[in-house]
A and B are shown apart, each in its own frame.
Chain A
């Protein structure tokens, strides 16, 4: 994907020169490994700062919410689905956007690589031909297959190509099919647990949460002007790190994302303590797929299933 960078710059320069957009949203190189910075460019010099590789794992749809400008935006498969969701939900207009589509080969899992490394990582090198990633630091260097180093949501992704775009930076990549990868293998493992095991699993999952809300704020779906956790009249949930309140926050946030989540993984990537927040959202994504045949953000026409009512909605599960 490194080769995309030049093409991204070329397209972006053209867009600004022709006055088609006021800004282009992409990434610039980060100051620490595995972490690039979401960035907007408004001139040629800024466009030269653009970078694209496997460390662009946040969701840029988060940065167009309610904006008024004409915007060029880079969009992978999941990012494009969140842009589509934004359009459906009235958070941006399609005609404001020039979507530069990125056929995506997956993002590196910063938590997993940090755990694999024998000390702080100072450099990360990706060999696209060999399909390997080398992480190194003071006194260590380790090479792993990129497939081992991918974010979990990327390794099971079945929509790597953008679903809406104005122009692609490269030919589409081959999609994985649901026969090749089971997107819900992780959910099924949890579903198979006894109630006690599930309780222990989620108890452990959230034990490290510091309620910094990085998961919520990295999520393009969480655009409420006032989140329910911040409301005080009425106050729905306590603000301390009482486990009940921490769980309430995570459960309710997940439900707010049901049928809207594209499994982009930004929540997990952003979490400073490495909580797999997707254990909640992926289950709801699975339910929406199984109950309604619904995948979020695949079109700009249809509203999410929990946002609509039809007399013939499936109801076998309402007992």
Chain B
């Protein structure tokens, strides 16, 4: 790994140059919060923001995406014959200032879209053409718990470049070939002064110490799936409060479920992939009319069991959560994944009790 120094004025100039080769996506202020959006030439991404309201997963996995189309005009060759849209554009794009927790969500989501059996061409092409320029996170939210969820404020494993804010300049770890290429296109190549790696390490320790909130996950794999499933003490009160909206799942960087809909607009038909949510009554609603998750409790349980038990058992690589804290701060009825995770981890099926933490 190479570390270079990017003065902040060089950063701005470099970003401008990158417009020639990349579609640039960065954090911009939308009313009272930040979202990730395509930057216009001259527009700078905001770097000093507390994480974006909704995760940037939609850069690679849009909330609504046309995956196939056909004509509904019988004179056309593609009359009722679905094919990939001609205008699919997988141009090179770069996400500037993405946080490590969000970058760390991508390999988790990839597990759904890239298996030995099935390869999702849309997700994979979008992912492969994306360069992630992350910014190490020095100001975590009180609801962040990345350090106990397999991520961390300075986690660089899933970034192409990681920037560390060091006052008037960034220290930039060039982590992959994609990162190297982008740094080259931006003209960033200045050597660092001595001790750069030490300052990164020092800042990393400081950032990690600010994250005081955590989840306990060490016992999740040992727990019996059916015991957790039947643990009324975990589900009953949370399910009562839950209003079954999709806030948690839509804000989440790791939720991957989708629904496919056909829509006809004029003489054109579109097959659209939309994000789905396990909170919704139509989720897993069978054509027979039966829904194995027919109640609010079933749906709430599905969300947490998927992230914290089924996923844990299936992939044996931690939980399906990177601790970004969005669902914690946005849930309108304060269902806190940290509390639920700790309850699941500590559940004792003999006594039907569990540890209840404040958060």
Contact = CB atoms under 8 A, between A and B. Distances in A.
Interface of A: 30-32, 35-40, 58, 62-63, 111, 114-115, 119-120, 122, 137-138, 208, 210-214, 216-218, 226, 230, 238-242, 269-274
A274 B243 CA distance: 17
A240 B334 contact: no
Contact of A240 (B141, B272, B336): B272
B263 A31 contact: no
Interface residues of B, number: 46
Given A31-B359, A137-B142, A272-B247, A120 B328 contact: no
A212 B246 contact: yes
B99 interface: no
B199 interface: no
Interface in B23-53: 30-33, 35, 50, 53
B74 to A, nearest CB: 23
15 contacts: A31-B336, A35-B334, A36-B334, A38-B333, A138-B139, A208-B30, A208-B35, A210-B250, A212-B245, A214-B246, A230-B282, A239-B259, A240-B63, A271-B332, A274-B31
Interface in B328-352: 328-336, 338-339
B281 interface: yes
Contacts of A269: 332
Given A31-B334, A35-B334, A239 B246 contact: no
A153 to B, nearest CB: 15
Nearest to B32: A115
Nearest to A122: B142
B166 interface: no
Contacts of A218: 243, 245, 332
Contacts of B358: 31
Nearest to B263: A238
Interface of B is mostly: loop
Interface of B: 30-33, 35, 50, 53-54, 63-64, 139, 141-143, 237, 240-241, 243-247, 250-251, 259, 261, 263, 272, 274, 277, 280-282, 328-336, 338-339, 358-359
Most chain B beta-carbon neighbours within 10 Å: one of A119, A216, A240: A240
A31 B54 contact: no
A31 B220 CA distance: 22
Nearest to A112: B32
Contact of A58 (B247, B282, B332): B332
A230 B243 CA distance: 16
Contact of A32 (B53, B63, B336): B336
Contacts of B54: 210, 272-273
Contacts of B251: 272
Contacts of A212: 245-247, 250, 277
Contact of B333 (A37, A115, A271, A274): A37
Nearest to A269: B332
B142 A120 contact: yes
B240 A40 contact: yes
Given A35-B334, A230-B281, 5 more contacts: A120-B142, A210-B54, A238-B272, A239-B261, A272-B250
Contacts of B141: 120
A111 B332 CA distance: 11
A111 B50 CA distance: 15
Contacts of A217: 243-245
Nearest to A36: B334
A127 B338 CA distance: 30
Contacts of A226: 281
Contact of B334 (A30, A111, A239, A271): A30
A241 to B, nearest CB: 5
Contacts of B277: 212
B332 A274 contact: no
B139 to A, nearest CB: 7
Most chain B beta-carbon neighbours within 10 Å: one of A119, A240, A272: A272
Contact of B241 (A37, A119, A239): A37
A216 to B, nearest CB: 8
B346 to A, nearest CB: 16
Contacts of B240: 38-40, 63
Contacts of B50: 119-120
A136 B358 CA distance: 19
Contact of B64 (A31, A137, A230, A240): A240
Contacts of B332: 35, 58, 214, 218, 269-272
B57 to A, nearest CB: 12
A211 to B, nearest CB: 8
Contacts of B139: 119, 138
A91 to B, nearest CB: 16
